[in-house]
Structure 1
Amino acid sequence: MAPCSRTAGESVGGGWLVGRDPYRPPFVVEQAPPPVVIQVPAPVQSQPGPQVAPAPQFWYYCDASRAYYPYVATCPGGWQTVPATPAEGAQ
């Protein structure tokens, strides 16, 4: 069998081939998908809240029993609030 020597532009089977090789598949052009863009939100900087002084600490002292709560459960004369300060030299 003799090799085929046809080129584009020759008559083949009653039709004309123009601009492409009849023995190769046509080119398929596919559109690329759009790029994926990920936007990361900017970090939120919060303002510091108002400075609140710590609540004062108290101990409860019973003058009638000369002791502090919780060492004494009840105090007949009523409780006195005393600032909670460490003893001298205790740290």
Structure 2
Amino acid sequence: MRSRIVLLALIATTAVCLNSTAQAHVRVGVLVGIPPPIIMAPPAVVYAAPAPLVVQSVQPTPTTVYVEKTQTSPPSGTWWYCPVTKKYYPYVKGCSSGWVEVPVRPTGPK
């Protein structure tokens, strides 16, 4: 069947070439032989990187500690006076002679 198709194609090409009205030049060639073997490379092997080692440490939940706040400031009815600097707390943070407790005196018009 294949040789029949090749023969018909050859005859048609020859007829076109021999026709005086056709101005085309056609070359027909036939390759006879064994085709070269097709060499295929093996598929590439791709290795995935190993997953990183994850180390999890378990730590105990911290315990909530409540610390009772002590009274650090004087009560609202008392002022603390420093006789050495002649100033009141909190304008002076420390007093070398010791603090003197003074009752609060209202200031301003009566």
Bin of the TM-score, shorter chain as denominator length: 0.3 to 0.5
TM-score, normalised relative to structure 1: 0.37
Q: Which has the higher helix share?
A: 2
Q: Which is richer in strand?
A: 1
Larger Rg: 2
Kindly indicate whether structure 1 or structure 2 has the higher relative contact order, using CA contacts under 8 Å at least 6 residues apart: 1
Structure 2 length-normalised TM: 0.33
